[in-house]
Structures are given as C-alpha cells and as structure tokens.
Amino acid sequence: MFVAKVSTEGPDTGKWYMMAMEGKIATRRAGYCAGICNGHSTQAEAMEHFLQYQLDREVDLWLSRRGERACEICGEPTTLRARLGRKTELVVLCQKHQSTSSLQQLARSSMLALSVSET
C-alpha cells in the first residue's frame, strides 16, 4: 500500500513524499519520490508525482477477459481491462479508452473523491 506522508524530522521536515507501507509503518519512499526528489509542499503534489511514476512505468493495457462489463468512462460493454500499478484491481476500459490518459483521468477522480471523503 502507498500513502502520502509528511516528513516530521531532519532536513525534510514539512515535505510530503509518497511512502510504501508495511503494516501500519511507512517504511520507505516510493516511486519517483524514492529517487532524486526534493519533496512536495502538499499531499496532492506527492500523490500526483506517484501517479506520474505509475503512468510511466506500471501500466498494463489491452488485457482481455471473458466476461463483458461496462467501460468505466463511457459505459460501452467490453471484455478489455487495464491496470495502473502493481497488484491492483483491473479497470474496465473499452477499446476507445485503452490509454494512459484514461487511466490518469480515473486515478485523478478517485484521488479527488478520497481527499473529499477524508475532510
């Protein structure tokens, strides 16, 4: 699991990073935040940085499944799926919406819904 956490000690105090969680403990920085990253001023910036990492490196498109389901963008019945991130749920996307931009749109919508529900 990955969460955005603010650093509370050292020279990075007050900066946000995306962290990999093991149990309830944030163990290490994840995605592009694990590399040369100076931190982020907001939680949303850290989450967007991690989303870009996933879009660049962890996308599977054109995954075919047997059962038809409605595309999560337009509702068109399809057997195609996509995945954003490792070990994540499949996203139902029709042929027209099999793209990283569609995955980005859905991920941003879910991040927005998550941030609204946390307030």
Same domain for 47 and 93: no
Same domain for 49 and 15: yes
User: 82-94: per-residue pLDDT in tens?
Assistant: 999 888 899 999 9
pTM: 0.80
pLDDT for 111: 78
pLDDT band, residue 114 (cuts 50/70/90)? low
Same domain for 70 and 30: no
Same domain for 114 and 80: yes
How many domains does the chain contain in total? 2
Same domain for 64 and 37: no
| 92-95 own/partner pairs: CB under 8 Å, 24+ apart | 93/61
Same domain for 114 and 78: yes
pLDDT for 118: 55
Say how far apart CA 9 and CA 104 lie, in whole Å: 32
Parent domain of 110: 58-118
pLDDT mean over 1-22: 91
Same domain for 88 and 51: no
